[in-house]
Amino acid sequence: MIKKTCTIICILFFAIALAGMVWFSTFHFLLHNNAFYEKQFEKNGVYERYGEETTNTESQEILTYIKDKHKEIINSDFFSDRDKQHMIDVKYLIQKTYPIKYALTAIVVFMFLPFLILNRKQYNKILHDLFEYTGALLIALPIISGVATFIFQDFFTKAFTQFHYWFFNNDLWILDSRVDNLINLFPESFFEAFTVRIIIYGMIVGIALLVLSHFLKKLIKLITVLIRDFDRWGK
């Protein structure tokens, strides 16, 4: 009984790590997805306000700054001093997400595999439970978010504001659209779409994992038969 409980706890731990890896990977994918940016700039009227060339140039300035660990501050005069100071904090926060993703990946690869080998007699069930738990976690987030949005008015705005209070120790994130171009380039609606896209991509992966867990036993049995037949053919 104790061993079974410990096994479930371990699998749940690995499922949380795998779900986190999916969310952070999606975040980093969208962070450098030019097509997503262009769609949002058009949708939010940024192209109309600044022009396509200026918008694309200055947004790339932001992305280049975030990726370049040695660049201390944004050079463009398009952004106000407050914009530039806030982006220092943003860059620091985003740079921290990469080690987190790598740590989660290391947990899944270098801790789960030995765990699976030690429990190789139950590997079929362990893999099934891992995919099932991870899929459930990835699908639960959009459900919870959808319910919260339905029940609470301006849920994203409040959550977005609270996020800034939690992760920034100053008020530089409070920008004025009349003088700070950063907030016009990336309005709240941009981040809402960004968050929704992460949730949707995660849900798609979650559904795929649930489907895979359902057919896993048959798939492993098929692979085992194929390997056995291949060995016989080779002899």
pLDDT tens digit string along 2-41?
Answer: 777 888 888 899 999 999 999 999 999 999 999 999 999 9
Q: Indicate the pTM of the whole model.
A: 0.87
Q: How far apart are CA 68 and CA 80, in angstroms?
A: 20
User: What's the pLDDT tens digit per position in 82-121?
Assistant: 999 999 999 999 999 999 999 999 998 888 888 877 777 7
Per the structure, the count of domains in the chain is: 1
Q: How far apart are CA 134 and CA 196, in angstroms?
A: 19
pLDDT for 57: 95
Is the pLDDT at 227 greater than 60, yes or no?
Answer: no
- Over residues 148-171, the mean pLDDT reads 90
- Over residues 37-57, the mean pLDDT reads 96
Q: What is the domain range of residue 13?
A: 2-234
Q: Decide: 119 and 7 in contact? Cβ < 8 Å.
A: yes
Task: Give the torsion through C-alpha atoms of 16, 189, 92, 100, to 10 deg.
Answer: 10
Q: How far apart are CA 101 and CA 201, in angstroms?
A: 16
Percent of the chain whose predicted confidence (pLDDT) is above 90: 64
pLDDT for 225: 58
pLDDT for 193: 95
- Over residues 188-201, the mean pLDDT reads 94
Q: List CB contacts of 87: < 8 A, sequence separation 6 or more.
A: 62, 65, 66, 73, 74, 79, 182
Is the pLDDT at 63 greater than 60, yes or no?
Answer: yes
Is the pLDDT at 66 greater than 60, yes or no?
Answer: yes
Q: Decide: 209 and 132 in contact? Cβ < 8 Å.
A: yes
pLDDT for 224: 60
Neighbours of 44 (CB within 10 A): 18
pLDDT for 174: 95
CA distances (Å), origin 147, targets 133, 144, 151:
21, 5, 6
